[in-house]
Amino acid sequence: MFTPGDEVLVTSYDLGMNTAGGFGQYINVPASWIVKLPTGLTLKESMIYGTAGFTAAQSLYKVTTCGLAQSIELYTNVFPFILRGINLLGINSEHRPMKLRKKIWNKIASEWRVQGLDNICNECSLEEINNKIDMILKGRVTGRIVINLDL
C-alpha cells in the first residue's frame, strides 16, 4: 500500500483529540486513515487545506454531483429549505470512504486547486502554537496556521 518515503496526508478522524500526533511530523495511525499525497499538491499545501478545506471540498463535491454542475453558484436564502421541509445538515469529514477521500483530494490538487495559498498561510514553530491559539480565540488571526517543525 505505502512504501518508506511516500508523501502522505492524514486529516479528519480523531487525530490530535483521542489519537496523539496532531502536531507531529511522524505519527502512527491506521493505514485506513492515510491518503497518498496527490500529484500537484505539496505537503504544506495539504496542511493549509487541512480538515477544514477537505470538509469544504466535500460540500463542493456534493453540489457538483447532485445536478448543479454548470456552476457552483447557488443564489438563494434559507426560506426554500424551511418552506419545503428540507434539513440543513453538516458534513462529517471523518467517516468518508477512502475511495471518495482520494477522489476529493485529487480534485483539490487539480481542477479545484486554489492559487496563492501561501498568501493565507502563517507558519509558526511548535513553541509558538499556544500563543497562536490564544490569538485565534481572540479573533486576531486570519488565514491558516501551519506548524513548521523545522523552525
Residue 16's pLDDT band (cuts 50, 70, 90): confident
Residue 89's pLDDT band (cuts 50, 70, 90): low
% of residues, the chain, pLDDT over 70 = 84
49-74: average pLDDT: 77
Question: String of b and e for 98-134 (b: at least 16 CB within 10 Å)?
Answer: eeebeebbbbbbeebeeeebeeeeebeeeebeeebee
Domain spans of the chain, in order of start:
8-114, 116-151
How confident is the model at residue 71, as a pLDDT?
A: 61
What are 127's three cell numbers?
513553541
- Could you tell me how far CA 20 lies from the centroid of its own chain? 19
